[in-house]
């Protein structure tokens, strides 16, 4: 695998609604951003859905960190890659080295929906 890509991880803050429920806060001042260099971003699938109202293209990619460089990314995160914003889909997995038992690398799936070009 080639680890030459960079992504920016955008994590939301939290705010409390009047009823006491905590929700994600995507306001500029609440979001934290971390750039991760040296990852591998691999295309997984692209699908197109055509309806009478609109065409939608879904782009799905897998992201892998370098061996020995696991990172923390939440399922709530948004990932900016090549100027496009993706959403993390499913669980973010950290894999342990089978010999040492220490964290080895992290993998997640991200997807982006956009109108057909």
The tokens of 63 are what? 């992201």
pLDDT at 89: 95
CB atoms within 10 A of CB 39: 24
Beta bridge partners of 60: 45, 111
Gap between the Cα atoms of 73 and 62, Å rounded: 13
Residue 39 domain boundaries: 5-115
pLDDT at 48: 84
Could you tell me the CATH number of the domain that includes residue 45? 2.40.10
**Domains of the chain: total:** 1
Cα distance from N-terminal residue to C-terminal residue, the chain: 30
Beta bridge partners of 14: 24
The tokens of 12 are what? 């939301």
pLDDT at 2: 87
pLDDT at 10: 96
Digitized pLDDT (tens) for each residue of the chain, 117 residues in all:
789 999 999 999 999 999 989 999 999 999 999 999 999 999 999 888 887 777 888 999 999 999 888 888 999 999 999 999 999 999 999 999 899 998 899 999 999 998 755
């Amino acid at each position: 695998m080639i680890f030459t890509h960079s992504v920016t991880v955008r994590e939301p803050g939290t705010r409390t609604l009047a009823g006491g429920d905590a929700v994600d806060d995507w306001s500029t001042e609440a979001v934290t951003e971390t750039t991760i260099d040296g990852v591998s971003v691999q295309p997984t699938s692209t699908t197109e859905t055509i309806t009478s109202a609109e065409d939608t293209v879904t782009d799905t990619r897998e992201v892998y960190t370098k061996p020995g460089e696991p990172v923390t990314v939440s399922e709530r995160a948004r990932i900016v890659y090549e100027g496009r914003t993706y959403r993390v889909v499913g669980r973010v997995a950290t894999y342990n080295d089978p010999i040492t038992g220490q964290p080895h690398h992290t993998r997640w799936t991200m997807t982006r929906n956009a109108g057909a070009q």
